[in-house]
Structure 1
Amino acid sequence: MTSKAQATDLLEGYRTGAISPVEATQDALDAIERYDEQVNAFVLVDAEGALAAAKESEARWHAGEPLGAGDGVPTSIKDALWTRGWPTMRGSTMIDEHGPWDEDAPCVARLKETGAVILGKTTTPEYSWKGVTDSHRYGATGNPWDPSKTSGGSSGGSATAVGLGMGAWSIGTDGGGSVRIPAAFTGTVALKPTYGLIALYPPSAFGTLSHAGPMTRTVRDTAALLDIVTGFDVRDWSAMPTPATSFLSGIDDGVAGLRIAYSSDLGFVDNQPEVEALVRAAVDVLADAGAEVTEVDPGFSDPVDAFNVLWWSGAAKVLSAYTVDDRVDPGLRRVAELGSSYSASDFLDATQVRMELGLLMGRFHQSYDVLVTPTLPITAFPIGQDVPDGWASPDWTSWTPYTYPFNLTQQPALSVPCGLTSDGLPVGMQIVGPRHADALTLRVGQAYQAATDWHSRTPTLEAR
């Protein structure tokens, strides 16, 4: 079985002939058939097209002429990114599924150019607006470790797909934690890269908070996928130049001598005790590997009010194009109404907070190479609700305090699995680097995974 193999291992197997892209694709499709009824990770699966693409890939590998570094890798795409010929419904009942759907998002185009096998599209909440994955259109997505729990969101379908071997890797989006939240809840790996490193088109209504990001089982696969999906695209006015160096270069250089700041709570967060203990133990692993670890807070207060102004304003912009009725997520309706009440001055005040936070973190990283925190203060809670039982706030941002600050600052932030609680639920550690230090951020994550085996633990979901 290859369904839970790393993409980098699949590619080596293709090169040697030990593994076939057709075999790997069929195994991924078998996993979808076996598990997806329980977890609802996919909104569209094109088995026929995937197998046809896999056969073409197999022929290229046999000829010694692969298209690129992802040729034949079974891949899924979050249903928030355009895919030519397939509808992108974004979990919404308001979008016309007839299209036209005649363009690929930049990262989807890069994947196709490298020969990746696109299996289908994964679930997302309506317009990716919240930190869990459910919608009126497609229902809720369950966690690979316990389908009665949420996968997180908004890229929950992608995280669950990767976690259950429904393809080796996926591309999600992250406007406030949307690849890192589900990675932490599902025991997978995800990177929100420096803003602009992965071009986005069409632009998000949530503006420059929104990033695309790779979602995989290992840090090495994350770096390999990042190599593929980065690249300048004229359709994105803020796209960075195509990187000149592979993100795999230097990934095994370790952490000896690196200055790592560890903040257990950013100075304002309450963690579940097991989450805090597991992340602290993970930081000890980095110290044992030679890093100079200092326990220190960056020194900012919770920027949630500023983030909410920007995010709720985006929600209002999303809904402004439609006649809104009860088919729209009630939470989205609620925050869009709040967003429509903000003034331009409110928006600029929030932007000022954002700029000050960016300045603070820029100076912080003059003293520390990376910052390590929990990815989330909690573990996965029951499926189909926006917040845990008995939670004081209805807002998803109330339980994601470690993720959205770094959308405001546009820094790279990586979530890696660092343990399982006593009830068998995954916990994530977040590694935050300075802007443009994506390779360094990945290097720290790789050093942790080289010393541990949490990334190799897989859920034992029984097929029905």
Structure 2
Amino acid sequence: MRATAFKTAEELVAEVRAGHAAPSDIARSVLDNIQALDKSLNCFASLKPDDVMAQAVALDRRLAKGEDLGPLAGLPVSVKDLLVAKGLPTASGSLTMQGNVVDLDAPVVERLRAAGAVILGKTTTSEFGCKAVGDSPLTGITRNPWNTEKTPGGSSCGAAALVASGITPVAIGTDGGGSLRIPGSLTGLVGFKGHFGRVPAYPAAAVPTLIHIGPLSRQVRDAALMMSVISGYDERDPFSIAIQKPDYLVACERRPKGLRVAYSPTLGYARPDPQVAEIVEAGLARLEAAGCDIDVVDHVFDDPVEIWKAEFYGGVGTRLKTAMETRRADLDPAVANALEGIYSLSMTDYYERVFERFQFRDKVRTFFEDYDILATPSVPVTAFDVGLDIPPGHEDRDAISWAYYSYPFNLTGQPAVSVNAGFDADGLPVGLQLVARPLAEETLFSLALAFEETDPEPDRRPSL
């Protein structure tokens, strides 16, 4: 591993600004680390080293002229292969999309470039983001740096493996049912989902009413830095929030004293593994030390999984209707099976689910009248064997809904983050999910940083 390994985004940007490293030095080091590690991890769906170096050398030249490169000066940042970027294929992990190139940068990619970042490439995803594990028919298996026989989770699997391995400090993923928070939990990272519409999405996703775009990082402040760059209004996204964005790095410095936190180990329906529940509950002491008042709440709401399935699989199923009819054999069987039932859903059934979503959101809003934060396990398990779509003991669920704790907050749109709470007996990470009131990302960053600062093992790393 070369000089950039396990450095934070803030450290790398500071090196460029101080003249201690050129963008091309950082890019070359990152590419060397990719060459050393990616054969065992499989993080990338698309990587063009010559293009990466060309971007970095162009930044070198601008720097030599005295230009201010921006808040991400010279920082290599990957984007998930569900987001479009000029010059890179967008295949969404599917054989049915192989070779698809869109001559367009998504708003998030435009903002990364404008902030001085080097677009590193496209990271792997499960097919169309439809599984919470790290494999697809197109790219094969992506592996967890903490144990390469285990999944990193999904669907932002390549992003999580890339960051957890120390190759880069940050990566951009998406989250339609937990796809930032699930891999964040299983690889020991910060997986941050801002409020719905805070980061614009364009072109429209298959499920535009559920998808959030956000960062995976090893440090809370790096997630805040990324959100400060990628969030903000864009008229091309009808759901984009047209209000001034907060200063997320300033929010990190605020102390979270007096926050009212509800801790729910099950939400009323989830089944966490005992060791996961134990480690998350031990982490509550760190929230109390930060000045939070904590109540334990057994039942928060009934499982909204059928509402979420109608919207998520309805959107993806509509996009894939032709592929289901003509190329089903090329689709991941777990994805095809999940979509099969959606075609029998009537319009009346669908709108019943839409109305139920509004009712669910109102119930959650009422709950948050009494609390600032809801804390839960991020997922019910630690990382499990590659090749499985669903963890042992949860086979009654589908390939995403086994992650009981995440999809409810795609339905409500609230900001949520997974932070590392500790490690199980096998040395695998366990995540704590923190959910805030609508638009309250500042509260999340304040509390997440306070939690991170009391980590008893801040320098623990995977040994690849």
| TM-score past 0.5 threshold | yes
Tell me which amino acid in the other structure corresponds to 1:53.
Answer: Q
1:430 aligns to 2:433 (yes or no): yes
Check 1:354–1:205 CA distance in 2 against 1; reply closer, same or farther (3 A cut). Answer: same
Q: 1:344-359 to 2 correspondence within 5 Å? A: 344-359=347-362
Partner SS for 1:415 = strand
When structure 1 is superposed on structure 2, of 445-454 and 67-76 the one drifting more is 445-454
Check 1:298–1:436 CA distance in 2 against 1; reply closer, same or farther (3 A cut). Answer: farther
Q: 1:4-83 to 2 correspondence within 5 Å? A: 4-83=6-85
**How many residues are matched?**
460
Check 1:162–1:243 CA distance in 2 against 1; reply closer, same or farther (3 A cut). Answer: farther
Q: Structure 1: how far apart are the matches of 2:320 and 2:127?
A: 11
Q: CA contact under 8 A between 2:16 and 2:73: conserved in structure 1? A: no
Partner SS for 2:120 = strand
Partner SS for 2:148 = strand
Residue-by-residue CA offset, 1:83-119 (whole Å, 9 max, x unaligned): 01211000111125153x2111110111011110111
Which residue is 2:455 aligned to? Answer: 452
Decide which of 97, 100, 106 is 2:99's aligned counterpart.
97
CA shift, 1:453, in A, is: 4.9
Decide which of 349, 363, 368 is 1:365's aligned counterpart.
368
CA shift, 1:297, in A, is: 4.2
Tell me which amino acid in the other structure corresponds to 2:112.
Answer: L
1:171 aligns to 2:172 (yes or no): yes
Q: CA contact under 8 A between 2:378 and 2:406: conserved in structure 1? A: yes
Tell me which amino acid in the other structure corresponds to 1:144.
Answer: P
Residue-by-residue CA offset, 1:52-108 (whole Å, 9 max, x unaligned): 222333344455422311121111110000001211000111125153x21111101
CA shift, 1:353, in A, is: 2.2
Tell me which amino acid in the other structure corresponds to 2:414.
Answer: Q
Q: Structure 2: how far apart are the matches of 1:273 and 1:43?
A: 36
Q: CA contact under 8 A between 1:417 and 1:455: conserved in structure 2? A: no
Check 1:453–1:219 CA distance in 2 against 1; reply closer, same or farther (3 A cut). Answer: farther
Partner SS for 1:248 = helix
Q: Structure 2: how far apart are the matches of 1:203 and 1:398?
A: 23
**TM-score normalised per structure 1:** 0.95
Which residue is 2:294 aligned to? Answer: 293
Q: CA contact under 8 A between 1:28 and 1:165: conserved in structure 2? A: no
Q: Structure 1: how far apart are the matches of 2:207 and 2:457?
A: 34
Q: CA contact under 8 A between 1:418 and 1:454: conserved in structure 2? A: no
Q: Structure 2: how far apart are the matches of 1:456 and 1:436?
A: 32
Which residue is 1:197 aligned to? Answer: 198
Residue-by-residue CA offset, 1:400-423 (whole Å, 9 max, x unaligned): 010000001000010111111110
Residue-by-residue CA offset, 1:388-408 (whole Å, 9 max, x unaligned): 246432512442010000001
Q: Structure 1: how far apart are the matches of 2:445 and 2:360?
A: 23
CA shift, 1:320, in A, is: 1.3
Check 1:6–1:178 CA distance in 2 against 1; reply closer, same or farther (3 A cut). Answer: same
Q: Structure 2: how far apart are the matches of 1:59 and 1:342?
A: 57
Partner SS for 2:166 = coil
**TM-score normalised per structure 2:** 0.95
Identity over aligned pairs, percent: 38
Q: CA contact under 8 A between 1:263 and 1:297: conserved in structure 2? A: yes
CA shift, 1:331, in A, is: 1.4
Partner SS for 1:120 = strand
Which residue is 2:445 aligned to? Answer: 442
Residue-by-residue CA offset, 1:346-369 (whole Å, 9 max, x unaligned): 212222222122112212222111
Which residue is 1:247 aligned to? Answer: 248
Q: Structure 1: how far apart are the matches of 2:255 and 2:100?
A: 50
Q: CA contact under 8 A between 2:264 and 2:300: conserved in structure 1? A: no
1:213 aligns to 2:235 (yes or no): no
Check 1:136–1:98 CA distance in 2 against 1; reply closer, same or farther (3 A cut). Answer: closer
Tell me which amino acid in the other structure corresponds to 2:342.
Answer: G
CA shift, 1:267, in A, is: 2.1
Q: 1:53-452 to 2 correspondence within 5 Å? A: 53-95=55-97, 97-99=99-101, 101-241=102-242, 243-297=244-298, 299-322=300-323, 323-389=326-392, 391-393=394-396, 395-452=398-455
Q: CA contact under 8 A between 1:412 and 1:432: conserved in structure 2? A: yes
Tell me which amino acid in the other structure corresponds to 1:27.
Answer: S
- Structure 1 regions of 5+ residues with no counterpart? none
Tell me which amino acid in the other structure corresponds to 1:338.
Answer: G
Q: Structure 1: how far apart are the matches of 2:404 and 2:394?
A: 14
